[in-house]
Structure 1
Amino acid sequence: MEEILKAIEERNCKKVAELLYHKVDELGDEELKEVLEKAKKLALECEDFELYKLTIYYFHELLGIDMVNEFEKLAEEKDTFEAKFELADLYYLLGELEKSLDLYRALLEEETAKGNVENVAKVYYSMALIHEELQEYEKALELMDRAEEIYRDLGDEEQLLRVGIHRAYVLFESGEVYEAKAMLAGLLPKVLDKKDLLVELHLSFEEIFEDDENYDAALQECLYALIHAKGTDYEDVAFGSLMDVLWQLFLEDDFETVYLNIDMFARAFPDMKDFFEAVKAIALYKDGKMSEEEVSKYIEKVTDQRQIDLLEFLGEAEL
Structure 2
Amino acid sequence: MDEILKAIEERDCKKVSKLLYYKVDELSDEELKEILERAEKLALECKDPELYKLIVYYFHALLDVDKISEFEKLAEEMDTFEAKFNLADLYYLIGELEKSLELYRALLEEETARGRKENVAKVYYNMALIHEEIQEYEKALELLEKAEEVYRELEDEGELLHIAVYKAYVTFEAGEPYRAKAMLAGLLPKVMGNSRLMSEIHLSFEEIFEEDENYDAALQECLYALMSARGMEYWDIAFDALIDVIWQLMLEDDFETVYLNMDMFASAMPELADFFEAIKAVALYKDGKIDAEEASRAVEKVKDRRLIDLLEFLGEAEF
**Superposition TM-score tier, normalisation by shorter sequence:** over 0.9
Report deviation, 1:283.
Answer: 1.3
Structure 1 segment 98-109 matched on structure 2, within 5 A: 98-109=98-109
Structure 1 segment 70-109 matched on structure 2, within 5 A: 70-109=70-109
| Residue matched to 2:261 | 261
CA distance in 2, matches of 1:44, 1:163: 32
- Calculate the aligned-residue CA RMSD, in Å: 1.1
CA distance in 2, matches of 1:296, 1:9: 42
Deviation track 1:22-50 (CA, whole Å, cap 9, x = no partner) reads 22222233322221122122222222211
The farther-off stretch of 239-248 and 26-35 is 26-35
Matched, 1:190 2:190: yes
How many residues are aligned here?
A: 319
CA contact (8 A) 2:26 2:306 kept: no
1:25 aligns to what SS in structure 2? Answer: helix
| Residue matched to 1:33 | 33
| Residue matched to 2:59 | 59
CA distance in 1, matches of 2:284, 2:6: 44
1:59 aligns to what SS in structure 2? Answer: helix
Deviation track 1:86-143 (CA, whole Å, cap 9, x = no partner) reads 0000000000000000000000000000011110000001001001111110000000
CA distance in 1, matches of 2:26, 2:243: 18
CA distance in 1, matches of 2:255, 2:61: 34
CA distance in 2, matches of 1:67, 1:317: 34
CA distance in 2, matches of 1:166, 1:93: 18
Structure 1 segment 1-319 matched on structure 2, within 5 A: 1-319=1-319
TM, length-normalised to structure 2: 0.97
CA distance in 1, matches of 2:176, 2:265: 31
CA distance in 2, matches of 1:36, 1:154: 37
CA distance in 2, matches of 1:36, 1:228: 32
CA distance in 2, matches of 1:30, 1:140: 40
1:221 aligns to what SS in structure 2? Answer: helix
Deviation track 1:267-291 (CA, whole Å, cap 9, x = no partner) reads 1111110110111111112222212
Give, as a single letter, the amino acid of the residue that structure 1 aligns with 2:308: I
The farther-off stretch of 237-246 and 287-296 is 287-296
CA distance in 1, matches of 2:125, 2:297: 50
Deviation track 1:2-24 (CA, whole Å, cap 9, x = no partner) reads 21111011111111111111222
Report deviation, 1:231.
Answer: 2.1
CA contact (8 A) 2:39 2:55 kept: yes
Give, as a single letter, the amino acid of the residue that structure 2 aligns with 1:133: E
TM, length-normalised to structure 1: 0.97
CA distance in 1, matches of 2:259, 2:27: 33
CA distance in 2, matches of 1:297, 1:8: 40
The farther-off stretch of 268-277 and 34-43 is 34-43
1:175 aligns to what SS in structure 2? Answer: coil
2:290 aligns to what SS in structure 1? Answer: coil
- The unaligned stretches of length 5 or more in structure 1 are none
2:178 aligns to what SS in structure 1? Answer: helix
CA contact (8 A) 2:259 2:284 kept: yes
* Gap change, CA 1:30 and 1:313, over 3 Å in 2: closer
Give, as a single letter, the amino acid of the residue that structure 2 aligns with 1:178: Y
- The unaligned stretches of length 5 or more in structure 2 are none
Fraction of identical pairs, as percent: 73
Deviation track 1:141-174 (CA, whole Å, cap 9, x = no partner) reads 0000000011111110110011111110000000
The farther-off stretch of 31-40 and 49-58 is 31-40
